[in-house]
Structure 1
Amino acid sequence: MKKNNRFATFFGLFSAASLLLSSHSVLADRFKEVEITATPLATNVYMLTGAGGTMAAVAATDGMLLIDSQYAELADKIRAKLATLGTGSLTTLINTHMHGDHVGGNAALAANADIIAHRNVLARLRDNQNFDPAGLPKTIIDTTTTIKHGDVTLILEPMPASHTDGDLLIWFPEQNIVHMGDLLFQGRFPFVDFNNGGNVQQYIENTRYVLSKIDDNTQVIPGHGELTNKAGLAAELAMLEQTLALVTAMRAEGLTEEQMLERGLGEQFNNWHWNFITEARWIRTLYQATTPL
């Protein structure tokens, strides 16, 4: 009987290990075809795309700065791409907010670097038992803060809670660039994360604020979507305002949430629908945002 128990225990451990290896393989496979691409925006400043939130990089003679880290499984690919842009290791990582597709690679990429984020990002990641503590922020931003990396100045500006309660804008004043993180889903309905402090009306106000600070030549890096400009951001604001007005009007008519879903927002917003935030999910978001407390 003891022999059988030992065999059962061994078999159980072997099965668990096999499942773990299998799950790691599945995770690796989902990014197998992903390529990290770099688009030059200014001298030593690049926009990087892969899977997850859009990144940006700043090259300097003494190392690299990166904005957001995507997923841990992409760390080797991201590191390899950074090596083609400049010399030295990653010395600074800035997180625009706390979602996994923006911070998942923190520990794998930047355990030995200075990780900078909004105070609420530290609090939320610290509470996440699945987050590797080696990737926790080390420098906390409470107020607008200016840093220098090589010859490039960056201004980190905490924003009132909108996408989450830990959003940062990153301004490149001399290059006329702004990285908005998930304060912008270019050409798409946005994700407003109510569970982590999100607020639709403040999302609109923050969009309006950025528009007031940029000009026609500003390069706007979104958290998701294509590189854009003031006109692209203005189109996003118009969509936000118009769809909120539509849902507010439907509420005034006495429509239920399900009736709103059946009516929809109209053909003019078909192109804003995407696989994560569909028209139905955006209507539900706006319905929740307009529900009296």
Structure 2
Amino acid sequence: MELRYLKYFVTVVEEQSITRAAEKLGMAQPPLSRQIQKLEEELGIALFERGSRPVKTTEAGLFFYQHAVQILTHTAQATSMARRISSVNQTIKIGYVSSLLYALLPQIIYLFRQRNPEIEIELIECGTKDQVEALKTGRIDIGFGRLRMSDPSIKRILLRKERLKLAVHKNHPLSNYVDSGVYLSQIINESIFSYPTTPKPNFFSLIQSIFTELGLVPKKLIEVREIHMALGLVASGEGICLIPESASDIGMKNLVYVSILDDEAFSPVSLSVRNMDHSNYIPKILDCIREVFHIENIDIIMGE
């Protein structure tokens, strides 16, 4: 069976019209009808209910459509991934979440550049959720993210569990806990800013899940666009904010950072690659990660 037959069939189903499908495919209606008829003859089943307007699939046709979409999607992804793998000797596209720019990612990328001057690196800001699809389609080759994402096409390597800190105004009563730290149960009555406003799951989702895991319900958890806006509001005395420990280096005025004592209060930092990608740049960047973590005296997990 040719893939083009599947493409014709899927287009007719989605357009619910032979005429519109033919226009979308850039072909005349009679040839498209003949191709659909040939597909039905090859399968030995009726894919569409005869005479229905708009075009409707039979029960068998709906089943076949669902699997045809998967076949076309996997074929497109495999083609894109193969092209990226074959060209990766020239350029590596690295996706990252913006908060990691305050962590060790810049040091890792710089060290990799110094050791591999023949390889071009393109950095692409990309949320952890979006990195999964970006890896599948070849838009990126490596992803550095913060969320626990699971997909059979992607291999995720947990690098570390970065502790969270509480950002508060220097005159806020919670600033008295800078030396001792606080538990999340002590802040649930505060106005807590979190970020970003990108599609879920994201860092905001992580914060919600930590509270839920501890059986806590914050009275006022406020979602804002990004970390700088959250910290700016805290610096204005509007509320407080939970951030990864490395983000405390942003250095905004009037802020102090309080340790969170709950064991659950951490943000996972992970590296993601395509599951079947055995390119030689992967062990090279893992070596750079190990060295930077060793220099910074940070334990590396390297788990899944």
Same fold (TM over 0.5): no
TM range (shorter): under 0.3
| Structure with greater Cα Rg | 2
Give the TM-score of the pair, scaled to structure 2: 0.23
Which structure ranks higher in relative contact order (CA pairs < 8 Å, sequence separation ≥ 6)?
2
Give the TM-score of the pair, scaled to structure 1: 0.24
